[in-house]
Structure 1
C-alpha cells in the first residue's frame, strides 16, 4: 500500500469496528474464523468479508496450522505491529511496521549461513 488513496483505505479499516477488532485480536495470536466470530460476536460471513479485504490490503495473512486431532485449520494474523501517520507540508504519509514471525526470522537466519 502506498499513496493517499491507500491511506483512505487504511482509515476505512480503522473506522470499521469489525475490521479494527479483527486486526486487534490477530495481533496477539493467530485466530480461525470461528474464533473471531465467537470473540467478536459477529457472523462468519461478516468475518470472511473483512478478512478478504484485509488480506487484499496486506494487513492480514493466512497460514495453516495442525490441530491436536491430526487435522489442519486456517488461521489469520495481523501483518504489522505499528502504523505511523505523518502530516508534513500539507501531505499525509504513513508507514506500517511489519511483523516478522519467529519462523520467518529463523528461515532468514539459516539462509544467511
Structure 2
C-alpha cells in the first residue's frame, strides 16, 4: 500500500456499502461493470464510480477481455487477499496482503538486495 494513503481513506472506501458489494462480487470471480451492475443491483454510473474509487486505492485491478465476437471490454478483480488493522505505539496501521506471483516476489527481493548493498 502506498504510504501516502491514510488509513482513513482506505477505511472510508471499504466503509462504503456499494464499494463493499462490488468487492464481494469480484472477490469470487472477475466481472465486467455490466455484470456487476446486475449482480449488485446498482446503476452503471454507481458501479463505475465505485470501481474508480477502488482502483484509486489499489484494491482492484482492471484488465481487458475479448468477447467471442471480437469486441473488447474491461473486467475487474480484487487484488488483495486480506487486510489487517493493528494498533502500534498509539497509532493505527493497516497492512493489505496481496497474492504475488513468484517472478514479482523475486524481482522485489532482488531490488531490496540491491538497495541494501549501495
Q: TM-score range by the shorter chain?
A: 0.7 to 0.9
Give the 4+ runs in structure 1 shifted more than 6 A.
none
Deviation of 1:68 (Å): 2.3
Distance 1:2 1:28 in 2: 28
Q: TM-score, normalised by structure 2?
A: 0.78
Instruction: Determine the structure 2 residue equivalent to 1:38.
Output: 38
Mapping for residues 1-113 of structure 1, pairs under 5 Å:
1-2=2-3, 6-100=6-100, 105=101, 108=103
Deviation of 1:89 (Å): 2.4
Q: What does the per-residue CA deviation read over 1:17-52, in whole Å, with 9 as the maximum and x for residues that have no partner?
A: 111111111112111000110011000001111111
Deviation of 1:67 (Å): 1.7
Larger Rg: 2
Q: How many residues align?
A: 105
Runs of at least 5 residues in structure 2 that lack an aligned partner in the other structure? 108-118
Distance 1:29 1:6 in 2: 28
Runs of at least 5 residues in structure 1 that lack an aligned partner in the other structure? none
Distance 1:99 1:54 in 2: 17
Please identify, of 22-31 and 75-84, the stretch whose mean Cα deviation from structure 2 is larger.
22-31
Distance 1:90 1:57 in 2: 24
SS in 1 for 2:31: coil
SS in 1 for 2:42: coil
